[in-house]
Amino acid sequence: MICKSHAIYCLHLLCSLLLLLCSCLHYCAARDTITAGNPINSTSNETLISDGKRFELRFLIISGHRYVGIQYYTWRPPEIVLVFNRDNPLPDSTTGFFGILNGNLTLWDKSGISYFSTSLGSSRSTAKLLDSGNLVVRDDQSGKSLWESFNNPTDTFLPGMNMNANLKLTSWTERGDPTSGDYIFQQNGDVRNGYIVCKSHKVYWKSKETDSFNPPLPVPLNLFNYFLLSIRLCLCHLIC
């Protein structure tokens, strides 16, 4: 009887140790960097997680299509802040790879078809997801920044971005479709530190002159099909 109880105790202890080991392996496997020859793929469910576990880069399934995007790591439901291949999704049945290919940040499938790619002059580079939500591609030798997702946003403005003349936010077509929509938020070149929302290339809304673009709270600005949802900026609430 004592031997049987001891065996059960040992079995429980072994199971607990195995669970702990699996948890440790999962924790250790989490990475924030992509190097050449070491992409993430859509079948392994591996993701990039920023060092402070604030943001996650992963494959996403949206309305039956496969994308690669960045989202808040702990928010439930997930809040997507960037979709790399928003206008060129992979079929759901296709295995995708996202990594460094020939020095460029690239999304490709098993047939070699590219769905997203940068155009960089470096032959060797590394991509790292930062706690700011910025994915930065650097040259391996010089350490120079070659490309940043903060300079190539989709519909979301995050703290640390620069709202300059080159930055544009483009809405999703609708909530379940990240394809580029009709609304564009950008700087108004005719007004000092002014901003406009265009719909189908026509000015739909514009701000007054401001001293600077300085959002007070760390909450993202999201553009959807018929709404400009702005907690940080408090600019307007558009209803089509």
Q: Point out the domain boundary residue: 151, 168, 190.
A: 151
For residues 59 and 145, membership in a common domain is answered with yes
| pLDDT-wise least confident of 20-29, 40-49, 128-137 | 20-29
- Does the residue 26 lie in any domain? no
For residues 140 and 189, membership in a common domain is answered with no
Given a contact cutoff of 8 angstroms between Cβ atoms, the answer to whether 203 and 191 are in contact is: no
For residues 220 and 115, membership in a common domain is answered with no
Residue 155: is its pLDDT beyond 60? yes
Contacts of 89 (CB under 8 A, 6+ apart): 62, 65, 66, 67, 115
Q: Point out the domain boundary residue: 151, 176, 201.
A: 151
* pLDDT recorded at residue 15: 45
- DSSP SS3 for 51: coil
For residues 164 and 203, membership in a common domain is answered with yes
The DSSP output letter for 152 is S
Mean pLDDT of 105-121: 95
Mean pLDDT of 37-61: 96
* pLDDT recorded at residue 221: 52
For residues 87 and 190, membership in a common domain is answered with no
* pLDDT recorded at residue 229: 38
Residue 8: is its pLDDT beyond 60? no
Q: Which residue has the higher pLDDT, 19 or 181?
A: 181
- Does the residue 114 lie in any domain? yes
- Does the residue 128 lie in any domain? yes
| pLDDT-wise least confident of 50-59, 94-103, 182-191 | 182-191
Give the pLDDT band of residue 29 (cuts 50, 70, 90): low
For residues 142 and 176, membership in a common domain is answered with no
- Give the span between the Cα atoms of 122 and 103, in whole angstroms: 6
Over residues 174-208, the pLDDT tens digits come to 888 999 998 899 888 777 778 888 888 888 888 87
- Does the residue 237 lie in any domain? no
pTM over 0.85, yes/no: no
Q: What is the amino acid identity at position 166?
A: N
For residues 139 and 172, membership in a common domain is answered with no
- Does the residue 175 lie in any domain? yes
Mean pLDDT of the chain: 80
For residues 81 and 181, membership in a common domain is answered with no
Q: Point out the domain boundary residue: 134, 151, 168.
A: 151
- Give the span between the Cα atoms of 84 and 192, in whole angstroms: 31
What are the counts of helices (DSSP H) followed by strands (DSSP E) for the chain?
Answer: 1, 20
For residues 38 and 128, membership in a common domain is answered with yes
- Does the residue 6 lie in any domain? no
Residue 161: is its pLDDT beyond 80? yes
Give the pLDDT band of residue 218 (cuts 50, 70, 90): very low
| pLDDT-wise least confident of 49-53, 75-79, 92-96, 224-228 | 224-228
- Does the residue 109 lie in any domain? yes
Beta bridge partners of 174: 177
Over residues 130-139, the pLDDT tens digits come to 999 999 999 9
For residues 96 and 126, membership in a common domain is answered with yes
- Specify the CATH number for the domain of residue 45: 2.90.10.10
Q: What is the amino acid identity at position 101?
A: L
Q: Which residue has the higher pLDDT, 236 or 15?
A: 15
- Does the residue 16 lie in any domain? no
For residues 163 and 144, membership in a common domain is answered with no
* pLDDT cut 70: percent of the chain above it: 75
Residue in this structure with the two tokens 């004592």, named with its chain if needed? 2
Mean pLDDT of 25-47: 83
Q: Which residue has the higher pLDDT, 222 or 236?
A: 222
Given a contact cutoff of 8 angstroms between Cβ atoms, the answer to whether 151 and 134 are in contact is: no
Give the pLDDT band of residue 14 (cuts 50, 70, 90): low
Total of domains in the chain: 2
- Which residues form the domain of 182? 156-230
- DSSP SS3 for 133: coil
